[in-house]
Each structure stands twice: as C-alpha cells, then as structure tokens.
Amino acid sequence: MSMTITFDRWHAQLLLEAIRVCDKQWLAKIESTDDEDVRADYDNDRMRLQILQEAVEDAAVKAFGPDVNGFSRVPLAISPPKASGF
C-alpha cells in the first residue's frame, strides 16, 4: 500500500525542516539516556525518519530544484510603511 501527497514548494520546505528538527530531537534523546531500550527505539525510528527524509528531499529537489533545502528562520528585512502625513 502507498500514499501520494502533492506539496507546493513552501510545504515541501516546511516538511523537510520538520524532519530535520525531529531528527535532532531524537538524537538528543539518544545521547541523553542510559536506557538501552529507549536508545534502541529512537535509533530505529531515526533510521526510518532518515529514509523518509531522503525520499522527500529527492522528490522536492526534482520538483523545485536544489535550493528547496534552503529553509531559513532569518526574518526578512522589511521596511515599515512611511507615515502618510495625517
């Protein structure tokens, strides 16, 4: 069984960023626990997540180009509107 989802560029970038954030959180969990069962569970989940990331990244690059990975949290420098003189 499979599923097909269509994303625009923004949604693809957002999904890729969410996968990266999740991966970092799971890695931190692995590194911060001494419980071998927890480590094994998160390791297995990370492997599956990385397979998903690779598939999404490949499809996104084919659809939108290599800069689709350029997700940034840097605010845009937008000038405030000028006073209208009222």
Give per-residue pLDDT as tens, 44-77: 999 999 999 999 999 999 999 998 887 666 665 6
Q: DSSP states of 13-72 as a string?
A: HHHHHHHHHHHHHHHHHHHH---HHHHHHHHHHHHHHHHHHHHHHHHHHHHH-GGGG---
Residue 15: CB atoms within 10 Å: 18
Among 10, 12, 8, 80, which residue's Cα sits nearest to residue 52? 12
Residue 3 has pLDDT above 70, yes or no: yes
What is the pLDDT, as a whole number, of residue 44? Answer: 98
pLDDT, residue 69, reads: 83
pLDDT band at 43 (very low <50, low <70, confident <90, very high): very high
Going from N- to C-terminal start, the domains of the chain cover 9-64
Distance CA 56, CA 63 (A): 10
